[in-house]
Amino acid sequence: MIKETTILSGLEDTGTYETVDAFFVEHGLQDWRAGEIKCFTDAGFDVTDSAKQQVRLSEDGNSVVITVAYADQAEKDTILGNVTGDMPSGLISEMSETHLF
């Protein structure tokens, strides 16, 4: 198993959010998020399985934390092979060793 955690923050964002969806709406990234989820589901990855993926707001409410548990490198490569675009310019993406599960 390969477990990775990504933290997404706004480039110049100091706001706090009530929900993960509110974070993406505030940054105008609903379509981008839907595309990212589609990359996973098109590869057969169950994004609703909490043993495979969890998404939450950070404790301070200003970032989104995503932990994904890939079965193996082949599954990760298949999912990443579906990604067609770059990270939106308004987001900062950081990797973390602290996982949600």
Mean pLDDT by 10 residues, the chain (101 residues): 96 85 92 93 96 97 96 95 83 95 97
Q: What is the pLDDT of residue 90?
A: 80
d(CA 24, CA 18): 11
Q: What is the pLDDT of residue 84?
A: 79
Q: What is the pLDDT of residue 12?
A: 75
Q: What is the pLDDT of residue 20?
A: 96
pTM for this predicted structure: 0.91
Decide if 23 contacts 55 (C-beta within 8 A): no
| Closest to 49 measured CA to CA, from 78, 71, 20, 17 | 71
Which residues is 68 bridged to in the sheet?
4, 53
